[in-house]
Amino acid sequence: MNVEDASRQLAVLGSPTRLEIYRLLVKAGAEGAPVGTLQEVLGIPGSTLSHHIGKLVVAGLVTQDRESRILRCRADYRQMQALIDFLQAECCRGLPGQVATCDGELEPVG
């Protein structure tokens, strides 16, 4: 994952409503959840929910599948893991000119 993709995904998750939708879908597991169920749980109008889900889909965080008359949403766990990995990739390595110690302290190089 690159900085632009991570930034776009984090910006989409910066909305409290979208973050709550995403969290519900993560909790739902691989089965996901029908849009109608999400609407019932969140208590928001269908058009508002549709708008927010659309942004999550465009960001690559959520997928949608039509099952007859039901529109089912699922968290894309590969994308979620890629974002987590991106954020953790250089954890505790220090800034340029510094070396991080095991206890989280930073020491100057040299």
Structure tokens that stand for 71 in this block: 């529109």
Specify the pLDDT at position 106. 55
Specify the pLDDT at position 108. 59
Specify the pLDDT at position 9. 97
Measured between alpha carbons, how far is residue 21 from residues 1, 33, 94, 101 in Å? 23, 10, 35, 38
Specify the pLDDT at position 92. 75
pLDDT digits (tens, 9 = 90+) for 65-81: 999 999 999 999 999 99
Spans in the chain with pLDDT lower than 50: none
Specify the pLDDT at position 107. 59
* Cβ-contact 12, 80 below 8 angstroms: no
What top-level class would CATH report for the domain 3-108? mainly alpha
55: which residues sit within 8 A by CB, 6+ positions away? 12, 15, 18
User: Where are the chain's structural domains?
Assistant: 3-108
